[in-house]
Amino acid sequence: MKLTDRDREMLDGVDGEGVALAMQVLVAIGRAFDAEQMGDISRAHVALSNQDADIWFAERLVAGGAVCRIPPTVNPGFCLEFFRHLPGLTPEDMESMERTEAAYRALGAQLTYNCTPYLQGNVPRFGEVTAYSESSATPYMNSVYGARTNRESAQSALCAAVTGRVPIYGLLLDENRKGQVHVHVEPTLTDEFDYHLLGYAVPRKASLQTAFIPVFTGVPANVSPEALMNLGAELNTGGNVPMYHIVGVTPEAPTLEAAFYDEPPGDPVVITADDLAEEQQMLSAEGGAIDFALLGCPHLSLDQLRAIADRIGGRQFKVEFWVMTSFYAKELANRMGIAEVIEKAGGHLVPDTCIDQVVWKHLAGKRGVTDSLKGAYYTQRRDMGFVLRSVGDCVEAAIKGAAS
Amino acid sequence: MTAREVTVIGCRGAAPGRASGPAVVSSDAICFYLVDPPTGTVIESGHAIEGRVIAGSVLVCPGGKGSSVVQADGLYQLAKAGTAPAAVVVAEFDTVLVASAVVVGVPLVRCAPEDFERIRDGDVLDVDSDREVVTIR
C-alpha cells in the first residue's frame, strides 16, 4: 500500500503514540484488503459501547495523546444523569460509563450518544468518503445517501477519526457498489416493523452469510426513514449487509439495470408475507403475560414517539414501559408535549442509552416486548426473553400487561 | 522430521503473529460475543458449533458476523479470560473481524476457497500470518 509522507509520519509516531497506534490498525486493514492507498474522510461515527474492549482501546489512544482530527459522533452507552438516581446500579456500573465519557471527551468526540446520527447531527452529501460503525448506520449512509463507508468496527472508525484517513478499498470504490442479489418483496409493507422482519429474513432466505449487496424491488417509493433505519439494522445483524439498493428509491438504483451495472440480475429471491410471518414466529417468544416493554433499538425517532403518544389515548401502562431515543428527539418531545403524554401513562423516555447496557439488568430473567429483532438478538447474553411486535402492538401489550 | 504427511498452504495475513492448535471447523460465521468467556464455549443458539469449545483452537470458519461493537468486545473478553482461539482462519475477511483481531492481537489469515476446504476438524494447524502459510498436520 502506498502511504503519503504524512501517513508515514503518523505511523512512525511523529504525532505521538496514540496516532501511531491508530495508523497501525488502519495500515493492517488496508493490507488485508489490498488497498492501494489511504484517503481523507470528511465524517465519522464511532459505535462507542461502554464495553470493556471499548474503554480499553479508547484509553490506550488517550494515553498516547491522540485527539480526533475528524470529531466523530458516537453511539450511546447509558445516560449517567438519567440513571444516577435510579436504584440497582453499583458504583462500578457508574464508573465504567464515567471512564467511557472521560476517554471520548479527551479524544475530542462529539458526545451525541445516539445510534441514528444519519437522521440528524451527522448527515453526509452524496459521494462523501466517511467511516461509520454501527450496524444501522453503515447501510443507511451507503444506501440512502450514496455516501461511502465500509462496514467499520468501533475501533477502526475511531482510528479513522483520529487520523482523518482510511484505507481505500471495498465500498469506497465504484466497482464494489454493484448490486449482487435481486430481492423481490411480494407483500405491500405498511408498518415499520415489517422492515425489521424483512431485514432479518433476507440473509436467511438468500442463504448468504458473507457480505452481499441486495437490490430490492417491490418496496414502496414513499418508504419512511424509520423503515429504512430498521431494514439496515436487521440486514446487518441477521447478515453482513453494509449496503443495499432499492430500485426507484435509493440514489444509485434509478433502475434495476443500473443497480446491477447492466449485468443480468439473475433469478430473484422472493420474500412472501409467509416468510415475514415465519421470521417473526421463529425469533419471537410466545405471546402472553409480559413484565415490561423496551423500545428503541435503533433509537426511536420523534415521529415514532408521536405515534406512541397518539396510540396511548389517555390509558395507563400496566407494566414498565421504556423508550430509548436521542437527546434531540427527547428535547423536541418535551417541547411538543409528547413526552408528557407518555410519562403520564407511566412510561419513560430514556435519552443517550443503548439496549445492551448494564442499566437494564433489573429486567434479566423477565419477559418483555420489543419491536427490535436486533435488540432481542444482542441481549441473549442478558437473559431477557422478548416477544416481538410492532411499536403499536408493544404499546397495546404494555397497557394490557400481555402480548397478543 | 516426522513421517506424517503435512500439507502447506498459502494464505493472506491480516492480524500478525504465529500460533498452533487443533482445528475447530464451523460452517457458520462466528460472532465472538456469543462465546462464553469463562469456558470459550459457543453459546449462540442454532450455531453450527454450538456447545463446542474454541479456547486454544485454530478456529476455521467462513468469516465473521455481528455488529461493529460486539465482535471486538467478544474477542477481547475471551483473550482476557485466556479462552480465545490461538488463531483464526477464514474464507473471507470483513473489516469488523480484521480490526477486532488486529486490536486484540489474535493472528488472523484468509485461505483461498480450495485450500480452505482441505482443512478438517481436528487437524493440527500451524498458522503463520507473518510468512502467510498454514501447515496442516
pLDDT digits (tens, 9 = 90+) for A78-103: 999 999 988 889 999 999 999 999 99
CA atoms within 13 A on the CB side of A75: 30
Output the pLDDT for position A156: 97
Residue B4: what pLDDT? Answer: 62
* A32, A56, A170 ranked by CB distance to B76: nearest: A56
pLDDT of residue A365: 92
Distance of CA A52 to the CA centre of its chain: 20
Contact A269, A235 (CB under 8 A): no
Task: Look up the pTM and report it.
Answer: 0.94
The pLDDT tens digits of the residues spanning B67-112 come to 778 899 999 999 999 999 999 999 999 899 999 999 999 999 999 9
Contact B103 A154 (CB under 8 A): no
**Average pLDDT rounded to a whole number, residues A232-238:** 90
pLDDT value, residue A238: 83
Report the amino acid identity of residue B72.
A
Q: How confident is the model at residue A114 (pLDDT cuts 50, 70, 90)?
A: very high
Cβ-Cβ pairs closer than 8 A, A with B, add up to 125
Flag whether residue A234 sits within 8 Å of chain B, measured between CB atoms.
Answer: no
Domain annotation for chain B: domains and CATH numbers:
7-136 (3.50.30.10)
Give the whole-angstrom CA distance, residue B76 versus residue B70: 10
Calculate the alpha carbon distances from A344 to A229, A294, A316, A337, A339 in Å: 29, 17, 8, 11, 8
What the block records as the C-alpha cell of A371 is: 419491536
**Residues of chain B positioned with their CB less than 8 A from the CB of A282:** none
A333-339 own/partner pairs: CB under 8 Å, 24+ apart = A333/A302, A333/A305, A333/A306, A336/A306, A338/A302, A338/A305, A338/A306, A338/A309, A339/A305
Interface pTM (ipTM) of the complex? 0.89
Task: Count CA atoms within 13 Å of residue A245 on its CB side.
Answer: 25
Please name the member of B15, B28, B77 whose beta carbon is closest to the beta carbon of A209: B28
* Complete DSSP assignment for A159-182: HHHHHTEEE--GGGSGGG-S--EE
Q: Could you tell me what percent of chain B has a pLDDT over 70?
A: 97
Beta carbons of A31 and A1 less than 8 angstroms apart: yes
Residue B104, min C-alpha distance to chain A (Å): 9
Nearest-neighbour CA in chain B from A381: distance (Å): 7
Helix ranges restricted to H, A337-390: 338-344, 373-378
Among B47, B96, B106, B108, which would you mutate to test the A interface (most chain A Cβ atoms within 10 Å of its Cβ)?
A: B96
Is the pLDDT assigned to residue A209 strictly greater than 80? no
Q: What is the mean pLDDT of residues A96-121?
A: 98
From CA A160, how far away is CA B68, in angstroms rounded? 14
Determine whether B67 is an active site residue: yes
Mean pLDDT along residues A28-36? 95
B3 has a pLDDT exceeding 80:
no
Judged by a CB distance cut-off of 8 A, whether residue A173 touches chain B is no
Q: Any CB–CB contact under 8 A between A31 and chain B?
A: yes
Q: What is the mean pLDDT of chain A?
A: 95
Span A328-377, pLDDT tens digits: 999 999 999 999 999 999 999 999 999 999 999 999 999 999 999 888 88
Query: Active site residue: B20, B26, B67, B68, which one?
Result: B67
Separation in Å, CA A104 to CA A54, A368, B91: 10, 32, 35
The CA distance from A22 to the nearest CA of chain B, in Å, is: 10
Kindly report which listed range (A66-80, A91-105, A228-242, B19-33) carries the lowest average pLDDT score.
Answer: A228-242
Rounded Cα distance, A342 and A394, in Å = 13
Mean pLDDT is lowest, of A187-196, A210-219, A269-278, B61-70, for B61-70
pLDDT digits (tens, 9 = 90+) for B42-59: 999 899 999 999 999 999
DSSP A2: B
**Domain boundaries along the sequence of chain A:** 5-173, 178-281, 286-403
3 state DSSP class of A36: coil
Using a CB–CB cutoff of 8 Å, tell me whether A372 touches chain B: no
DSSP SS3 for A223: coil
Q: Are A5-173 and A286-403 the same fold in CATH?
A: yes
Over pLDDT 70: what percentage of chain A? Answer: 100
Between CA A381 and CA A360 the distance in angstroms is 12
Helix (H) or strand (E) holding A65: none
For residue B1, pLDDT over 50 is answered with no
Lowest average pLDDT, out of A92-96, A115-119, A326-330, B5-9, goes to B5-9
Q: What is the CATH number of domain A286-403?
A: 3.30.499.10
pLDDT attached to residue A390 = 97
CA atoms within 13 A on the CB side of B78: 31
What distance in Å separates the CA atoms of residue A379 and residue A377, rounded to the nearest whole number? Answer: 6
Yes or no, beta carbons of A53 and B103 under 8 Å apart: yes
Give start and end residues of each alpha helix (H) in A173-313. 192-205, 225-238, 256-259, 273-283, 302-312
Q: For chain B, what percent of residues have pLDDT higher than 90? A: 87
Q: Which residue is closest to B109 within chain A, CA to CA?
A: A32
Distances (CA, A) of A234 to A226, A350, A365: 12, 22, 24
The CATH classification number of A5-173 equals 3.30.499.10
B16 confidence band (pLDDT: 50, 70, 90)? very high
* Closest chain B residue to the Cα of A32, Cα to Cα: B14
Q: Looking at chain B, which residue has its C-alpha nearest residue A48?
A: B69
pLDDT at res. B104: 96
Round the average pLDDT of chain B to a whole number and report it.
93
Q: How many C-beta atoms lie closer than 10 Å to residue A286's C-beta? A: 9
- State how far residue A49 is from chain B, nearest Cα, in angstroms: 7
Q: Cell digits for B97?
A: 473481524
